[in-house]
Amino acid sequence: MKNRYDDIEAKAHIEKYADYPEELALRVYTSRLIGQEEDLVLHGGGNTSAKGRIANILGEEMDVIFVKGSGWDLGDIEPAGLPALDLTYLRKLRALDNLSDEEMVNQFRIHLLDASSPNPSIETLVHTFLPPAFIDHTHADAIVILTNINDCETVLREALGDNIGILPFIMPGFPLAKAVADMYEANPDMECLILRNHGIFTFGNDARTAYDRMIHYVTLAEKYIAGKQTPPEATAATDTCPDETVLFPLLRGALAHTDQQGYNRVFHLHLRKNAQILSALSRPDARELLVSGVLTPDHVIRTKNYPLFLDFSGLSSEEEIAALIHNEVASYQEKYNRYFAEQIRSKKIKRTRLDSMPRVLFIKDIGIVTAGKTPKDAIISADIAAHTLGAKLQGIHIGQYRELDASFIFDMEYWSLEQAKLGKGSPRPLEGKIALVTGGGGAIACGIGRQLLAAGARVFLTDIDAKRLHKVEEILAAQFDSRMISSLVMDVTDEDSVQQGMNTLVQQAGGLDILVPNAGIAHVARLEDLEDSTLQKVIDVNLIGVFQVIKAAIPLFKRQNFGGHIVINSSKNVFSPGASFGAYSASKAGAHQLGKIAALELAEIDVRVNMINADAIFNDQEVNSGLWDVVGPDRMKSRNLDPEGLKEYYRQRNLLKTEVLADHVGNAVVFFASGLTPTTGATLPVDGGVEGAFPR
C-alpha cells in the first residue's frame, strides 16, 4: 500500500485550519488519507483520534481528545467531525469495574466541549485509554484476512513481526478499551495492536508516525498474502443463466415482506460483477467457500452474517427459477429465525427480531446482487460483499477460514449502538419503491418526481427530448440524493424503445412499483383544419404511449407478485374539452378509458390503476410545460392577455380561485401510490375545482 503522506500537503492543512490546534489540522489530514483507501476503510469501518490542549471558555488550559464523530466519513472529514472531549475526566472512567453502553454514551455527551457535536465514536475509550497522542484504527482487508484463519496468531507474527499486540475479539466499548490499555501497558514499545476478526490500531506521538505505522503493517500483511497466492484456475460460465430482466423482479418479489411493525418492505437491488466475481462464483466449491460469516462483525448490520447462494444451472423455465428462489429464500429465513431463537434463549434476553431476509445474494453466472431499502444501502452492501469475497479468495491460500461465533455476531447485530448507524423511525410512505414517470422533461413531471422522491421512492424519468429530460434530472438531483433519480431517453410510441427502457430500469434497480404515464403533446386546430397525420401523432403519444408503457409494466408486476400502482395523468379535458383542442382531448379521453380497463384487468394481481385530471399547470421552477408552450400563445391572443394575465385568468376560473402547481399533481400521485385507501379505477381532479370537469 502506498504511503501518501506529503509534507507540503500536511503544511497546507495546518494553514487551512489555522483557527484550530495544529494537532487537529494534522488529524484531519491523515484521517482523510486513511479514509480514501477502500482497502483500509469501507463505509465507516474505522476511526481516528488526536490528543491535545485547548483553552476552555474561562481561558483555562485543558487536555482534550479529538475523536471521529458519528456520521462523518474519514475520506472527507472536517474539524467538526472530530469533536473534542474532556480527556482528563474520561481517563478516570478506567477505574470503574463496569460501564454500560448507555452510560458510556451519556458520559461522552456530557463531557463534550460543544453540545452540538455529533456523538463520538463508540470506540472513544480505546483511544482515550491508550497513551499515544495519535491513534488510527481501520478494518484493513489484509489484516482482517490474516485474523480470520485458524492459528492466526502464528500467521500474524510471521507476517508482521513480534512488535505487535494481539487480542481476541471483544465487543467494542468499555471492556475492549480496558483490555487494549492493559495490553499496551504490558508492552509499551509495541507499534500496533491487532484485534482478531476486527482490525488494527496503530499509534504514535505525532500524526505521521501513527499513519506510517498503519501503512507499514498493512503493507507487510499484503506482501505476506501475495506471497502465498497461486494463479487462479480458469472457470467457464455456463450459458443457462436466467435473463436479469426476468430474474430481478422475481428476486424482489421473493424478498418483499411485512416487518415486525407492520410496514410493507420492498428492496432496491444492485448488481456487482466483474471477472473475479464471476470466476469465484463458478468454482466447484463456491458455495462451501463463500457462504461463511462476515470478515468483521461491523458488517453484519449491512449484509447479515451469511449471503444466499443461488445456482440456476439446469433450469430453463421461469416457473422453475421462481420456485428455486422462493425455496432458497424460505430456507434462509428458517435458518436466520432459528439463529435468533437460539441466541435469545441461551442469553436469556428479549429482543425484537429483525427481518430475516438476505441482503447479499451470490448468483452463479450473474454476480453479486444486494438488497437495500435505498440504492445507497444496496451499494454499501455490494461494496462490502465484493471486498469480503476477494478476501476469502486470498485467505484460502493461507489457512482455513474461521468465522466468528454466532454469539458475537448476535451481540453486534442487535447492539443498540450499532443499529443506531442505520437510523430509526417509521419509513417514509414510498421507501424502497421504484417509480417510472414518462414525459419526464416537462413541468408536471418535475413536480411528480419531487414529491415521489420526498416520499422515499427512487424515480426514473423518461422523455424523448434528452435536453429537457436532463434539465429536470439536474434540478431534482440538486434537491435529493442523486442516486435516487435517473433519466432514460425513451420514445413511448415505440414498443422496442419502451421495452429497452424497462429493461434498463430493471437492471439498475430491480423492478417497478409505480408507473406514471405522463407523456403528452398538444395541438391547436379546429376539426376542419386538423390534418390526419397530426391527429395520429397526438394519439400515438397521448394514447398509444400510455398503452405501451402499461403493457410493458405488466410482466414486471406479475413477476414481483406484490401488486403495484399505475397513476395516469389524464386531463381536465377528459370531462370538459375545449374547442380547437380535439386531438388532445380525444386522445386523453382514450387514455383515461384505457386506465379504467387496466383497473378491471389488473385488480386480480393487486395492481391499482387510477387517474389524475389536472388543469392549467404552466411551469415548475425553470421548467416550462410543453403543452402550454403550444397552447399558451393562442389562448393569450384570443383573450388579449400576457403570460401572467393568462395564469390569473385560470386562477379565477376555478372554484377555489387558486393556482394549480405541479407539486399538487405530485401529491396526488403519492396519495394513490401510498395505497392509503383500497381504491382503483378512480379519477381525482387536481384543477382547483372546474365545475364542468367534475367526474361523472
- Give the catalytic positions in this structure: 584
Residues facing 569 on adjacent strands? 612
3-state secondary structure of 539: helix
Containing 134, the helix (H) or strand (E) segment is: strand 134-138
Do strands 199-204 and 134-138 pair parallel, antiparallel, or not at all (unpaired)? antiparallel
Could you give the count of Cα atoms lying within 13 Å of 429 in the half-sphere of its Cβ? 15
Do strands 134-138 and 46-55 pair parallel, antiparallel, or not at all (unpaired)? antiparallel
CA 447, CA 665: separation in Å to the nearest integer? 7
Q: Which residue has the cell 415482506?
A: 257
Helix residue ranges, H only, 422-565: 443-454, 466-479, 495-509, 532-539, 545-560
CA 13, CA 671: separation in Å to the nearest integer? 50
Closest CA to 134 of 39, 65, 190, 69: 65
Residue 474's CB: how many other CB atoms inside 10 A?
13
Which grid cell sits at 666? 405530485
Residue 88's CB: how many other CB atoms inside 10 A?
12
Contacts of 348 (CB under 8 A, 6+ apart): none
Residues belonging to the chain: 696
Our CA dihedral for 185, 187, 192, 196, rounded to 10 degrees, sits at -90
Closest CA to 3 of 295, 207, 279: 207
Q: Which residues of 496-519 are buried (b: 16+ CB within 10 A; e: fewer)?
A: ebbbbbbebbbebbbbbbbbbbbb
3-state secondary structure of 501: helix
Q: How far apart are the first and last CA of the chain?
A: 72
Q: Where are the beta strands (DSSP E) in 157-234?
A: 164-167, 192-195, 199-204
Residue type, 2: K
Closest CA to 434 of 496, 507, 380, 489: 507
CA 590, CA 131: separation in Å to the nearest integer? 77
CA 66, CA 50: separation in Å to the nearest integer? 5
3-state secondary structure of 394: helix
Could you give the count of Cα atoms lying within 13 Å of 373 in the half-sphere of its Cβ? 19
Task: Give yes or no for a contact between 132 and 210, defined as CB atoms under 8 angstroms apart.
Answer: yes
